[in-house]
Structure 1
Amino acid sequence: MRIRDWDSNLKVRLFGEALMNITFWMFFPFLTIYFADEFGKSLAGLLLILSQVLSVFANLIGGYCADRYGRKRMMVLSAFGQGVCFMLFGLADSPWLQSPWIGFLCFSFVGFFGSIYWPASQAMVADVVDEENRSSVFAVFYTSINIAVVIGPLLGAIFYVNHRSQLLLIAGIICVGLAAVLQKWTRETAPTYEHKVNTTTKWYSFVGNQLRDYKIIVKDRTFLLFIVAGILSAQTFMQLDLLIPVYTKEVVHNQTLLTLGSWSLTVSGEQAFGFILAENGLLVALLTVAITKWVIGFKERNVFIVSSLLYAIAIIGFGQTEWIWGLVLAMAIFTLGELLVAGLQQSFISKIAPDHMRGQYFAAASLRYTIGRTIAPISIPLTVWIGYEWTFFTIAILAIGSAAIYWIMFSRMDHKQQTLTDVKDLA
């Protein structure tokens, strides 16, 4: 499905979100280093865990609100909220005010609003794109994000150290601008969009209704296994902006990346991280659509399992080398594991989700990331307790566990499908 044939909502979002993501990735990968330097690794890990607890809560209410109050409304609110938080973060790290605690609080609320945005945005794609083309559309959005991951860190390596406050302020302005664009040039797509205010309704009835709806989702055992497997695999790819930047900063010391005659390019730890992160983004930007089309021809079971196993191999590779080109190779394997399921995951969710609960299913599915990110920062203090090598090995074991759960999930699905076929044959 060509972009020119897309729904106008998606075109507006694609280009607006691309600009926001480029700015975001100019500083986001380096924030773990910032907080580790300001608070120490142990406290920084604990604080990052606490910030993600807030995102888990936001994720739960985000899907519910996307289904009840509309995709557009929640996306506009979220983009505006992120913009305000980025601006405050920029002021908290300015010549007039130096407060890492205020910065951390703003960072936490950026995650909160981002968790509200995500399920509404994914549900909007499912609303306006037929099932046949969803994987390719999701893949294009994923590619857009990773183009930002190429450009952002490279620019960040140049501007972040001396212009962090300005970058945060620019990100805030862009987010507020995106909110205005979404408000003016997009329409509501929720199939049952209707908002009625009942002034007699108590605040806790909202939470009760929400929990009842999520109880229905939890009873979907296949989907629950999908979430658990995703949480385990998330412990690997979440380290891309948690453990890996701290690791490269400590173990890579002015290594020569490239030599041409008498000229050579030497990189420090932070620059090495920016380079391999850009490598990840470049490979994803170039290959996502092609690999998504390729893997559609394979069984979903095999694709998900192989993806988790590649994550395990890559994360062990990171822990076994301090050589810059060894890190480059590990990142290539890591990226392949990421690309295999980039388009399939969202298509899989939209396929099993009822139309009237898509927002909540996407929100519940993103618990793979929010809960995964809540747990993942423990890796930072873990390096103090057991060292880098054993920390990477522990994370690899979790990825292997993810592969095992995917196998169980698809076996369950196959058995259920076979049972339904047998019942139809008997009828």
Structure 2
Amino acid sequence: MKIRDWDSNLKVRLFGEAMMNINYWMFFPFLSIYFSEAFGKNKTGFLLVFSQIFSVIANLLGGYCADRFGRKRMMVLSAIGQGLSFLAFSAASSPWFQSPWIGFVSFAASGVFGALYWPASQAMIADLVDEKHRSRVFAIFYTQINIAVVIGPILGSIFFAQYRFQLLMIAGIVCLLLGLILTKWARETVPKKVMEDPAVDGKWYYFLRNQLMDYSLIIKDKTFLLFIIAGVLAGQTFMQLDLLFPVYIKDMITRQNLLSIGNWSFSLNGEQAFGLILAENGLLVSLLTVLVTKWMDRLNERNVFVLSSIVYALSIIIFSQTHWIWGFIFGMAVFTFAELMGAGLQQSFISKIAPEHMRGQYFAAASLRFTFSRTIAPMAIPMTVWVGYGWTFVVLFIMAIASAVFYWLMFYSFKKSSLHVGS
């Protein structure tokens, strides 16, 4: 299914969200540096954990809101809410007024609106695209995000420190424009039967309670529980990409030469170096996802899951032992390879272990590994104050190895349960 054959809703979104994502990635990766300098590393870690709690609740309710109030309405409200949040953040970072606290509250609010936007946007694709074409459409949106991850951090590394006010204002205006574009050119797609579903028509807190009860039932599946635990442990590593890594690289690199040819040299400071390796991550993901996934499909599933965590652990060793920009570039290549190893197999494994009548609930519950990871991961920043960078990386290394152990136990449990069912 080619882009020219897409529904107009999707064409509008692809363009609008591309602009929004590029703007977002121009400043988002550098916020942990900004907040660490404003509040100190201790307070920043706790504040980021606190902000994630609200995003977690919004994420749990996102599907309910998309069904109850409509995809278009939630996307419009979320885009406008994000826009106003970014404008408030820019006002708190202006040449005339500086307030990191207002900036943090605005950042937390933008996270809540973003968590409400995502489920509605995914549901709209499912509403408009036949099942046989959905994976390609999702892949194009995913590629668009990774292109933004390449372009945004490079621009942000150049402009964020000196032009934070302007970047945040542009991001706010782009989000507001996206809301207006969706209002004018998008249409509602939620099926009528979904809107009339009694489960959707109830109170939001009943929905939240029932959803948590469903998760508790699913987690009684031993194999799935081990999958969640392993995912949360591995998540403590890859979630540091925009939490610990920017702070660490800024502290380790004051200014280094990236390239030198004769009398000409190109040097970077810490923020610019981080922008470069984050762009490297996005570029490698964009170029190699399909290739690495095909390669991993030929290997034993258990070995891929276990080796992915071990490669994450190896990347942590590399990051912890280098203060050289090319060392960080190599470490990010290893880190990205670990990310890509399990990217294609995670979803297929969930579909394999989930009972056919509960697949939707299993996929929803599987997102808990990212939810818990995002909530816990910011604690790595204050940990660097308590025990130093060295021991913080040791803890992350241990968590990555522990995730490999839990993945091995998961496959052992899955094999036993399969044999039991077969007998």
Q: TM-score, normalised by structure 2?
A: 0.88
2:62 and 2:116 in contact (8 A); partners too = yes
1:19–1:5 CA distance, 2 compared to 1 (3 A): same
> For residues 215-364 of structure 1, what are the structure 2 equivalents within 5 Å?
215-346=216-347, 348=349, 352=354, 358=360, 363-364=364-365
1:189–1:230 CA distance, 2 compared to 1 (3 A): farther
2:230 and 2:407 in contact (8 A); partners too = yes
2:237 and 2:396 in contact (8 A); partners too = yes
> For residues 50-65 of structure 1, what are the structure 2 equivalents within 5 Å?
50-65=50-65
Query: What residue is the counterpart of 2:171 in the other structure?
Result: 171
> For residues 99-118 of structure 1, what are the structure 2 equivalents within 5 Å?
99-118=99-118
1:52 and 1:371 in contact (8 A); partners too = no
1:399–1:110 CA distance, 2 compared to 1 (3 A): same
Q: Structure 1: how far apart are the matches of 2:239 and 2:372?
A: 11
2:87 and 2:173 in contact (8 A); partners too = yes
CA drift of 1:253 comes to 2.4
Residue identity (%): 61
Q: Structure 2: how far apart are the matches of 1:243 and 1:105?
A: 21
Q: Which moved more, 1:390-399 or 1:33-42?
A: 390-399
1:316 and 1:396 in contact (8 A); partners too = yes
Q: Which moved more, 1:86-95 or 1:1-10?
A: 1-10
Q: Which moved more, 1:283-292 or 1:237-246?
A: 283-292
2:64 and 2:207 in contact (8 A); partners too = no
2:315 and 2:332 in contact (8 A); partners too = yes
CA drift of 1:264 comes to 0.4
2:277 and 2:332 in contact (8 A); partners too = yes
* 1:87 has 2:110 as partner: no
1:124 and 1:190 in contact (8 A); partners too = no
Query: What residue is the counterpart of 1:160 in the other structure?
Result: 160
Q: Which structure 2 residue ranges, 5 or more long, are not aligned?
A: none
What do the CA deviations read for 1:51-97 (whole angstroms, capped 9, x no partner)?
Answer: 11112222222234345555444333332322221121111111332
Query: What residue is the counterpart of 1:425 in the other structure?
Result: none
Q: Which moved more, 1:409-418 or 1:87-96?
A: 409-418
Query: What residue is the counterpart of 1:17 in the other structure?
Result: 17
What do the CA deviations read for 1:114-167 (whole angstroms, capped 9, x no partner)?
Answer: 222333444555566677666555443332212111100111122212221121
Q: Structure 2: how far apart are the matches of 1:6 and 1:345?
A: 28
What do the CA deviations read for 1:189-233 (whole angstroms, capped 9, x no partner)?
Answer: 5695215799x9766444434434444443454444333222111
Q: Which moved more, 1:143-152 or 1:208-217?
A: 208-217
SS of match in other structure, 1:402: helix
1:138–1:415 CA distance, 2 compared to 1 (3 A): farther
SS of match in other structure, 1:98: coil
CA drift of 1:280 comes to 1.1
SS of match in other structure, 1:153: helix
Query: What residue is the counterpart of 1:390 in the other structure?
Result: 391
1:195–1:169 CA distance, 2 compared to 1 (3 A): farther
- Letter aligned with residue 240 of structure 2: Q
- Letter aligned with residue 237 of structure 1: F
CA drift of 1:186 comes to 5.0
Query: What residue is the counterpart of 2:414 in the other structure?
Result: 413
CA drift of 1:287 comes to 1.6
Q: Structure 1: how far apart are the matches of 2:46 and 2:169?
A: 26
CA drift of 1:303 comes to 2.8
1:324–1:335 CA distance, 2 compared to 1 (3 A): same
Q: Which moved more, 1:86-95 or 1:125-134?
A: 125-134
SS of match in other structure, 2:26: coil
1:80–1:273 CA distance, 2 compared to 1 (3 A): same
2:307 and 2:404 in contact (8 A); partners too = yes
CA drift of 1:238 comes to 1.2
Q: Structure 2: how far apart are the matches of 1:216 and 1:190?
A: 28
1:135 and 1:292 in contact (8 A); partners too = no
CA drift of 1:308 comes to 1.8
1:60 and 1:363 in contact (8 A); partners too = no
- Letter aligned with residue 43 of structure 2: L
1:191 and 1:356 in contact (8 A); partners too = no
SS of match in other structure, 2:257: strand
Q: Structure 1: how far apart are the matches of 2:94 and 2:125?
A: 38
SS of match in other structure, 1:95: coil
Q: How many residues align?
A: 420
Query: What residue is the counterpart of 1:379 in the other structure?
Result: 380
Query: What residue is the counterpart of 1:27 in the other structure?
Result: 27
Q: Which structure 1 residue ranges, 5 or more long, are not aligned?
A: 423-427
Query: What residue is the counterpart of 1:75 in the other structure?
Result: 75
Q: 1 or 2 for the larger relative contact order (CA 8 Å, sep ≥6)?
A: 1
1:413–1:65 CA distance, 2 compared to 1 (3 A): farther
Q: Structure 1: how far apart are the matches of 2:39 and 2:124?
A: 39
Q: Structure 2: how far apart are the matches of 1:355 and 1:118?
A: 24
What do the CA deviations read for 1:239-272 (whole angstroms, capped 9, x no partner)?
Answer: 1111111111111121111011210011111111
Alignment root-mean-square deviation, CA:
3.1
1:348–1:265 CA distance, 2 compared to 1 (3 A): same
CA drift of 1:23 comes to 0.5
- Letter aligned with residue 33 of structure 1: I
Q: Structure 1: how far apart are the matches of 2:179 and 2:241?
A: 28
- Letter aligned with residue 411 of structure 2: F
Q: Structure 1: how far apart are the matches of 2:38 and 2:96?
A: 18
- Letter aligned with residue 269 of structure 1: G
